[in-house]
Amino acid sequence: MFTYETADQKEVRRFRIAQFNGRMATVKSGESTVTGFVRSVLEQESCIPPRWTITIIPNAPKDEPKPLRPASRARPFAEDYF
């Protein structure tokens, strides 16, 4: 799990919407980028200005799909007329 802390209300709203709709969210923190499902959005009530702690369950990166077969060897249609 990845824990992220922020004071940006717009960012928190985006994470809450992603959590409610079951969509993945992406966070850029320094040099690292994490994409995954939002597990929780918790407000720290003792802080002024308010801060939130967001917990994300990262997804494993997807492998690039391999082509099913080699590219077509057919000539382009325009070459038939020249």
Residues in CB range of 1: below 8 A, 6 or more apart? 39, 55, 56, 57, 58
Residue where the block lists tokens 């969210």: 25
Domain containing residue 21: 2-58
Contact predicate 7/52, CB 8 Å: yes
pTM of the model: 0.67
Task: Please give the tally of structural domains in the chain.
Answer: 1
Residue 75 domain-assigned (yes or no): no
- What SS3 class is residue 81? helix
Question: pLDDT 10s per residue in the chain (82 long)?
Answer: 889 899 999 999 999 999 999 999 998 878 888 899 999 999 988 888 889 999 999 887 666 677 777 666 666 665 555 5
Residue 35 domain-assigned (yes or no): yes
